[in-house]
Structure 1
Amino acid sequence: MSHGVSAAEATLPPLETAGPHRKRLGLISIIACLGGLLFGYDTGVANGAEGPMAADLGLDLLQLGLVIASLGFAAAVGALLGGTLADAIGRRRAILVLAVLFFGGVLLVIFSPGGGGEFDPVGYTLLLAGRIVLGLAVGGASSVVPIYLAELAPYEIRGSITGRNELAIVSGQLAAFVVNAIIAITIGESGGVWRIMFAVCAVPAVFLFFGMLRMPESPRWLVEKGRTSEALEVLETVRSKSRAKAEHVQIEIIAEEESEAKVGLGALLTNRWLLRIVAVGAGLAMFQQLTGINTIMYFGSRVLEEAGMTPQQAVIANISFGVVAVIGGIIALRNMDRVDRRKTFMIGLSATTTCHVLVVIATSVFPDGHPARMWAVLILVVAFVISMQTFLNIAVWVWLAEIFPLHMRGVGFGIAAFFGWTMNGVLAFIMPSLLEWSLGGTFALLALVGVLGVLFIYRFVPETRGRSLEALEEDVTTGAINIITASQRRKY
């Protein structure tokens, strides 16, 4: 499939494949992706910690559901506020604030009083507060880090650079699963072992804070704020001299054209094309969550127990979900700048929906307690996770970081992520009860939503691969992106 290339893109010097500037860009992405690692660990640690925590603190299913879901609901707010904060104070400073929130949230969780199987209202309140603070940090990281990386990366490799954050997320989730399994096997699942599981998260938060102190600000944000000379200095650290100057001119031209336009929420409310693309972004984020991927990352051990495994078998087998998620992420990064976003979305959502249908069939064919039921569910959920990670997770976050214009990128991304995280919180809250009701029925509901998601992507989601952020901005602001969408649909 061919893409339209603007005159500005055509006149940029070719991208260099080696040099100190490429090493600098690599280092920046590693440090910034510690935010993704924290995101992943904090969402994955509950998968294995929630059982011991519930037993230690005397929580019922609804109380446990609220503890897990509170992170998702707070992340919705954090994504919205994080995007707005990043537009106001800069991407780099916003990430520094998030590092402090990650560290503070962990302290609240691990030092909340209570234990011994008795419910403590004060301890439960502090535990919820800690999960909310962590949720704000997770949501903020989900919107700010991809934007930061997308604005620093050359458009030719923007997908693979921005996608590294999603690989960091699943690496964090895998780390959480492995840590949980090691602790459960060596120490046991009683007492306060869940506090140790959560405490590990404090380490990367410290590295993120001190690492970002030495990282540059986004050059596109600097240009928007009139700090053009600083923007050029940053670009020259991550591009060759000639490429940096040419790209700097391109960014300045678009910034000057948009200088009279409203920014942030004001820009959104006065342009129907921006409203449309934000609605599409919100819909895509919600359908991503409605696949149930974070249900597996939060409650994978519980799903396997419902399929017939013992608690210890489940916490060990749960590691496989993290392993295949990382493998899928590596494959996704390799293909991110080679395969169109729309194509990956369509393939991914079709594959995950098929896995859901097969789980429904397996749980219907094999009765409770049958070994084949347990193995079928494990294999199909592994297939679901690798399909999700290879084709959907990374691509969705990259697409959201690309599609919104500079003058409202943080707000637009934040709104889309808000709706995605809200859906995440709803699923996390009801999932323990749904799984207790019916494992097959739960996956049947997810499959039905998956079919709707395929139709949504086919009808509404435009392509972004292979185009500069400035060229996309022109098309989105004027509505030309919607004309492109119509032509794209005829190709699939």
Structure 2
Amino acid sequence: MGLLTLVEDRPTPSAVYNWRVYACAMVASFASCMIGYDSAFIGTTLALPSFVHEFGFKHIEAHHLATIKANIVSVYQAGAFFGSLFAYASAFFLGRRKSLWVFATVFMLGAGIMLISKNGDLAPILAGRVLAGIGVGGASMIVPIYISEISPPAVRGRLVGIYEMGWQLGGLVGFWINYALIETMPASRRQWQIPFAVQLIPGGLLLIGSFWLKESPRWLYSKGRREEGLRNLCWIRKLESNDIYIVEEVASLDAAIEHQTSTMGMGFFAPFKAVGKSREVQWRFLLGGLLFMWQNGSGINAINYYSPTVFKSIGITGTNTGFFTTGLFGVVKTVLTFVWLLFLIDKLGRRNLLMIGAAGGSVCMWIIGGYLLGTDGKRNGKELGPGGTAAVFFFYLWTTFYSPSWNGTPWVINSEMFDSNTRSLGQASAAANNWAWNFIISRFTPLMFLNMGPSGSGVYFFFASMMLASIVFVWFLVPETKSIPLESMDRLFEIKPVRKANKVVLEEVRLREEEFRHDAEGAGLDAAKGIDVSYEEHVTKV
């Protein structure tokens, strides 16, 4: 089996892996371009000489300035937290497609408001970032669940990974834009307004593209809109409605909806009741939230939002040099995310990637922190030197371990680990947890670098310790979700020890499919043509 070999839950026509399902994932992932761009551009924009001059940063005391910068960055995460919660209601009543219209519009409004800030008045930037945060928070809940619902199981990780890829491409632009501006444009109000205005591009593309997207067949079936759901499913799969693959998938959807109806109901509050009654479901919600705690505890968002501060702590001085180094960080992340998306997520699996990435990343953070502690801040004002060069090398090595592991894998796991009863609420919870931990890190990182050891060495020790602890968490508590059908997730989380659960469930799925095909042929269903049996008879067989 090669790196691109697909592990299928059942025999799958090649037509299923078509351009439409990839195009839908790409269009929806303009939402992650918005998120990635913001996480990258805001830190370097706050360091632009034109922005510093416009808002008088040079005349503000260091601790007060750190608080101001933290507020500018973190109000966006606060808005995103609430946006991800609002998205649960939107996803339930409006569906996935129309929800994207709503949140893209809110984001565009916020991005536009930021541009009117001037003459030291930060209020429009703060207000605009709250609105933009609501927009991206809602989209961060909707997009992964939409992609997971339209994805064939064998490429679900790859397709949800496109969401992460959009995040990295947006980040790449965000990391480089201010370097380009400071190299080619004199300091002026327009210089710092340009990076704020660029946010409108991915937001506009999402708003326009969402009109082309097809609504999730799973959501349509849950609302009783069967004919529209079947049309959308056939369009996405590029198969006729009587193809055996479509018949099986529809039967699986109906079985899941029937189970949900009989066990908890289909109402807005039904998932809340299901969570309240089931320890197993509560545990899954806790796991999903903790994955984002470990992700943010690795240090990634501290680096994304405050990259000039991070590189200055290592010893890189000068605005241009710091921006260039930040840009290279963005390149490394993006290239390695492509590797993760194309070769690793659906081959090595989620568990292995998380543990390998955490182990390697932790070593790098210990070395960087040790270098800073050993120099005790005495290198300031001097050349970087061999030790500083080595610290920069290990920073990029940390990026090499982190990017194809913890960067996007928690999103993939959360998009697929919940059953049909609680999937929307579970994704809302996961997105809210991501933004809550993101807020905590972005709010306190500037103060951490001021107070935790020489040149912030204690910050690196903290991140290193968190990455070590995450290995224990994954090994004992997180099962492998690779290639598991969404309808079999309940069974996956029942099996102990978790490291063996994936193989057990895949074998059970294979045996069920063989039994179904045998029964179907016995009932007069030609497996090659998928005809001569009524829909009702097929559901009865399942």
Provide TM-score, normalisation by structure 1: 0.90
1:43–1:297: 8 Å Cα contact kept in structure 2?
yes
Asked if structure 2 preserves the Cα contact closer than 8 Å seen for 1:327 and 1:386, the reply is no
**Contact 2:161/2:412 (<8 A) preserved:** yes
Q: 1:229 and 2:227 equivalent?
A: yes
Q: Using the TM superposition, give the Cα deviation of residue 54 of structure 1 relative to its aligned residue in structure 2, in angstroms.
A: 4.4
1:150-169 equivalence runs, <5 A: 150-169=148-167
Q: Which moved more, 1:186-195 or 1:206-215?
A: 186-195
Per-residue Cα deviation, 1:371-390 (whole angstroms, up to 9, x for no partner): 23442332222222222111
Aligned residue identity for 2:256: I
2:415 pairs, out of 384, 395, 401, with 401
Distance 1:373 1:76, change over 3 A: farther
Matched, 1:130 2:146: no
Change over 3 Å in CA distance of 1:214–1:484 after alignment to 2:
farther
Q: How far did 1:188 drift?
A: 4.0
Larger mean Cα displacement after TM superposition, 130-139 or 80-89:
80-89
Query: In the superposition, relative to structure 1, how do residues 190 and 436 fare at CA in structure 2: closer, same or farther (>3 Å)?
Result: farther
Which position in structure 2 is the counterpart of 1:41? Answer: 37
* Cα distance change of structure 1 residues 28 and 259 upon mapping to structure 2, 3 Å threshold: same
CA contact (8 A) 1:101 1:136 kept: yes
Contact 1:292 1:446 in 2 (8 A): yes
Residue of structure 2 equivalent to 1:387? 401
TM score, norm. by length of structure 2: 0.82
Q: Which residue of 417, 427, 448 maps to 1:413?
A: 427
Shift in Å, 1:102? 1.8
Give deviations 1:4-55, integer Å, cap 9, x for gaps. xxxxx96x5x223357x71111221121111111111122111310113344
**How big is the shift at 1:96?**
1.2
Matched, 1:480 2:494: yes
Query: Residues 103-138 of structure 1, C-alpha deviation per residue, up to 9 Å, x if partnerless?
Result: 1111111112x33xxx4xxx3222111111111122
Partner of 1:106: 111
Match among 457, 465, 469 for residue 452 of structure 1: 469
Give the aligned CA root-mean-square deviation in angstroms. Answer: 2.2
Any conservation in 2 of the 1:304–1:377 contact (CA below 8 Å)? no
Q: SS of the residue aligned with 2:422?
A: helix
1:372 corresponds to 2:369:
no
Does structure 1 conserve the Cα–Cα contact (< 8 Å) formed by 2:85 and 2:138?
yes
Matching residue within 361, 367, 371 for 2:370: 361
Q: Secondary structure at the match of 1:259?
A: helix
**6, 12, 16: which one pairs with 2:13?**
16
* Inter-CA distance 395–486: structure 2 relative to 1 (3 Å threshold): closer
Q: Is the 8 A contact 1:458 1:489 kept in 2?
A: no
Rounded to whole Å, the distance in 2 between the matches of 1:166 and 1:480 is 29
Aligned equivalent of 1:275, options 282, 289, 292: 282
Separation of aligned partners in 1, 2:12 and 2:192 = 48
Task: Give the match for residue 65 of structure 1.
Answer: 70
How is 1:60-459 mapped onto 2 (pairs within 5 angstroms)?
A: 60-112=65-117, 114-115=118-119, 119=120, 123-189=121-187, 191-239=189-237, 240-241=239-240, 242=243, 243-260=245-262, 261-262=264-265, 263-308=270-315, 309-333=317-341, 334-366=343-375, 367-368=378-379, 369=382, 370-437=384-451, 438-459=455-476
Map Cα deviations across residues 274-315 of structure 1 (whole Å, 9 max, x no partner).
Answer: 111001111111111111111111111221122222111000
Q: Which residue of 1 aligns with 2:540?
A: none
Match of 1:465 in 2: 482
Give the whole-Å Cα distance in 2 for the aligned partners of 1:470 and 1:282.
21
Q: Taking every aligned residue pair, what percent have the same amino acid on both sides? A: 25
Structure 1 residues 295 and 265, CA gap change in structure 2 (3 angstroms) = same
Is the contact between residue 480 and residue 499 of structure 2 (CA under 8 Å) also seen in structure 1? no
Cα shift at 1:416: 2.2
Post-superposition offset of 1:433: 2.1
How big is the shift at 1:407?
A: 2.6
Instruction: Kindly indicate which of the two structures has a greater share of residues assigned to helix.
Output: 1
Listed one character per residue, the Cα deviations across residues 313-334 of structure 1 (whole Å, up to 9, x for unaligned) are 0001111111111111111112
Q: Distance in 1 between matches of 2:75 and 2:166?
A: 22
What residue ranges of structure 2 are gaps of 5+ in the alignment? 1-7, 58-64, 505-542
User: Within 1, Cα distance between the matches of 2:182 and 2:125?
Assistant: 21
Whether the 8 Å CA contact 1:306–1:439 is kept in 2: the answer is yes
* 1:280–1:461 CA contact under 8 A, matched in 2: yes
TM-fit CA distance, 1:361: 2.0
1:31 to 7, 24, 27: 27
Q: Which has the larger radius of gyration?
A: 2
- CA–CA separation in structure 2 for the residues paired with 1:352 and 1:459: 20
Deviation of residue 190 (structure 1)? Answer: 5.2
Residue 484 of structure 1: how far off its partner (Å): 5.2
Q: Which runs of 4+ in 1 moved over 6 A?
A: none
Contact 1:224 1:407 in 2 (8 A): no
- Note if contact 1:83-1:414 (Cα within 8 Å) is conserved in structure 2: yes
Amino acid aligned to 2:74? A
Unaligned stretches of 5+ residues in structure 1: 1-8
Deviation at 1:217, TM superposition (A): 0.6
